[in-house]
Amino acid sequence: MHTTLATLLDRLDGTKLSTTEVIPWGCPVPSFGDLANSRVATLGLNPSNREFIGELGEELEGDARRFHTLNSLGISSWSEADARHLQLILDSCRTYFAGNPYDKWFRKLDQVVSGTNTSFYDSSCSACHLDLIPYATIRKWTDLDSGQRSLLLSIAADILGLLLRDSPVRILILNGQSVVDRFQEICGIRLKRQEMPTWSLNRRGKPAVRGVSYLGTVRAISEIDLHHEILVLGYNHNLQSSFGVTTAVIQSIRDWIIETLTEQNYETARQ
């Protein structure tokens, strides 16, 4: 993790990211939770700006702080970061859910994760969250232009493989269609696709949005050999932003995960 984080900091200090609206003073976020002790990980696109910025646009500080910044570390550029600073950043990642987590986003996802007998919030049966791009941007991912999104993906394409290669994660859950599409792209694979009628989202005056599950395995990501197989489970709805996601839909996704793990004979963190 130290080597991968050092790589992320070096790229953050480079010129390529300057046009992508990445928050330049916020540290990269290689993981939310303890990756080194998680057999299950969820996957999103990139960290929310709310991990660093408050409602009024201010930097989160004190008890509200979630991750380190140049200011909190007392340095003026990421090139000044030494081994002590790297450890402080990694500690904030490892203990994220014991501090001030962004519950509005993670609690919904944790309901799905519970289908693996793990939780973000329970240290005895831990799960963690990863992002395809471990840099927070000032604007939401959907508000970035296509060039910015493509550049961010190309800069960070190898990071997920490096993180998973050196971790105990054996189950990866993809949150939303955009994540599924980008994951398939960087892995060069096609996951098995199946329509799920109980996942349909009703929209007033408009056709319902069909639910779709994705299933497969992966042994390499962006040409990074993982040296082991990871079971990949995905769904097309973004639980936090897709209109019409109900408790019943989330429960149905959770039940599908339970059934799939049973069929695949996969162990969970408690077994």
Q: What is the DSSP string of 184-197?
A: HHHHT---EEEEEE
- Residue whose C-alpha is closest to residue 27's, from 99, 107, 98, 96: 96
% pLDDT > 70, the chain: 97
- Phi, psi of 228, rounded to the nearest 5 degrees: -160, 170
Q: Which of 215, 221, 219 is nearest to 191 (CA)?
A: 215
Helices then strands (H, E): number in the chain? 8, 6
pLDDT at res. 47: 96
> How confident is the model over 123-147, as pLDDT tens digits?
776 899 999 999 999 999 989 999 9
Q: Is 145 helix (H, G, I), strand (E, B) or coil?
A: coil
Domains in the chain, CATH or no CATH each: 2-264 (3.40.470.10)
**pLDDT confidence tier of residue 271, bands split at 50, 70 and 90:** very low
Residue 18 has pLDDT above 90, yes or no: no
Whether pTM > 0.85 for this model: the answer is yes
In 126-246, which ranges are continuous DSSP H helix?
146-156, 159-165, 177-187
Measure the CA–CA gap between 162 and 132, rounded to whole angstroms: 12
